[in-house]
Amino acid sequence: MDLTLQWPAPRSRDVCATRVRVEYCLDGVQLELDAADCDDVPFERGDPVRSFPSWRLKRHYDGYHWMGGLEASVGFESLTERGCLIELDRTPGVVAVASQPMWIRWTTADGLREHCPDYFVRLDDGQAVLIDVKPAARIDDGVRAQFDMTAAFAADRGWRYVVYDAESPIREANLRFLAPFRDSASVEALPVLPAAKLPLGTVSALLGIGADGYAICYAHLWSGLLETDLDQPLSAKSMVWERGR
């Protein structure tokens, strides 16, 4: 997941808000600040500011996803959000993820507007990233306006703002399959492959004998050192190549 691909932020003066407040919960205490005073708040340690609603015959899936790289469970309220968490779990530099981290409230000429972003991410260089999750087909003009306001809010803080709009059940299934192999290549160096692209079965044979070779290959695919088209069902015939080759 490329956290540098941000939702374009409008100019601050194009967001017609006279006041912006932020509400969050830290160490069990509900707090509220002016947006200008919240830049250094450790939102990654906060509690969710809202719970996931539930009702009879609810069609959305919610729950908690175990992020092995962070050794923490993080909440999701849709399969697309779970897909986002799986992608974050294999994204280099991610050291913390918080679900439903804050309410952002804008006072505008038309009244009060509010939004709760889906995730707050902290990177190992200290950078903060706000993430909203919405399938591309469901981003209408109203949602786009909300994202524009959130992008301006993030830009004013010096944060990144990313909208995860992918919806690929095949890719998510592949990554869920690969995740348990994450540690299989911890001490294995990746040899130079003899061709630009090779079938997964051939690469596995180069990395080890039998199941061990496949486990190492799967681990490198999870880490991104090896790449394949994860939007297609994974098999021994899937073409594999080295990252950047």
DSSP 101: -
Q: Which of 133, 164, 195 is the last residue of a domain?
A: 164
Query: Is residue 131 pLDDT above 90, yes or no?
Result: yes
* Higher-pLDDT residue of 53, 241: 241
Domain assignment of residue 40, given as a range: 12-164
Min mean pLDDT across 12-21, 60-69, 131-140 is at 12-21
Listed residues 105, 134, 164: the one ending a domain: 164
Whether 4 is in a domain gets the answer no
Answer yes or no: do 191 and 137 share one domain: no
On whether both 222 and 130 belong to a single domain, the answer is: no
Pair (84, 97) in one structural domain: yes
Please report the pLDDT score of residue 17 as a whole number.
66
* Residue where one domain finishes, among candidates 148, 164, 180: 164
Residues 16 and 152: their CA atoms lie apart, in Å, by 11
CATH of the domain at 138: 3.40.1350.10
7 within some domain: no
Task: Read off the tokens for 218.
Answer: 């799967």
Pair 138, 31 in one domain: yes
Say what the pLDDT of residue 53 is: 61
Q: Are 179 and 87 within one domain?
A: no
pLDDT tens-digit profile of 72-97? 999 998 889 999 999 999 999 999 99
- Residue 54: pLDDT band by 50, 70, 90 thresholds? low
Asked if residue 41 has pLDDT above 70, the reply is: yes
Q: What is the pLDDT of residue 241?
A: 94
- Dump pLDDT digits (tens) for 178-228: 999 987 766 567 777 888 899 999 999 998 888 889 999 999 999 899 999
CA–CA gap between residue 204 and residue 218 (Å, rounded): 8
Checking if the pLDDT of 4 tops 80, the result is yes
pLDDT at 183: 79
Q: Do the domain assignments include residue 5?
A: no
Rounded-to-integer distance, Cα 157 and Cα 111, Å = 23
Indicate if 127 and 60 belong to the same structural domain.
yes
Q: pTM for the whole thing? A: 0.86
Query: Considering the chain, what is the average pLDDT of its residues?
Result: 88
Could you tell me if 92 and 139 lie in one domain? yes
d(CA 34, CA 156) in angstroms, rounded, equals 12
Q: What is the mean pLDDT of residues 157-185?
A: 89
Distance CA 43, CA 102 (A): 8
Looking at per-residue confidence, does 59 or 219 come out higher? 219
Percent of the chain with pLDDT over 70: 91
134 in the same domain as 67 = yes
Does any domain span residue 16? yes
Kind of pairing between the strands at 160-164 and 128-133: parallel
CA atoms within 13 A on the CB side of 46: 28
Is residue 1 in some structural domain? Answer: no
Q: Which structure tokens are listed for 1?
A: 């997941």
Handedness of CA 79, 80, 85, 89 (dihedral sign): positive
24 close to 31: Cβ distance less than 8 angstroms? yes
Domain presence at residue 211:
yes
Would you place residue 101 in the very low, low, confident or very high pLDDT band (cuts 50, 70, 90)? very high
Q: Do residue 58 and residue 32 come from a single domain? A: yes
Q: Are residues 189 and 231 in the same domain?
A: yes
Q: φ, ψ for residue 2 (rounded to 5)? A: -90, 105
Which residue has better confidence, 21 or 10? Answer: 21
* Any domain includes 2: no
Count of domains observed in the chain: 2
Identify whether 50 is part of a domain.
yes
25 vs 43: CA distance, rounded Å: 8
* Alpha carbon separation from 168 to 80, 136, 156 (Å, rounded): 8, 11, 32
- Report yes or no: 177 and 234 within 8 Å, Cβ to Cβ: yes
Residue 12 has a pLDDT of 56
Residue 185 sits in the same domain as residue 126:
no
Q: Residues 103, 175: one domain?
A: no
Give the mean pLDDT of 17-43: 91
* CA–CA gap between residue 8 and residue 155 (Å, rounded): 9
Least confident of 47-51, 59-63, 134-138, 158-162: 59-63
Cα dihedral: 19, 24, 27, 28 (round 10):
110
Stated as kind and residue range, the H or E segment containing 2 is none
pLDDT band of 231, cuts 50, 70, 90: very high
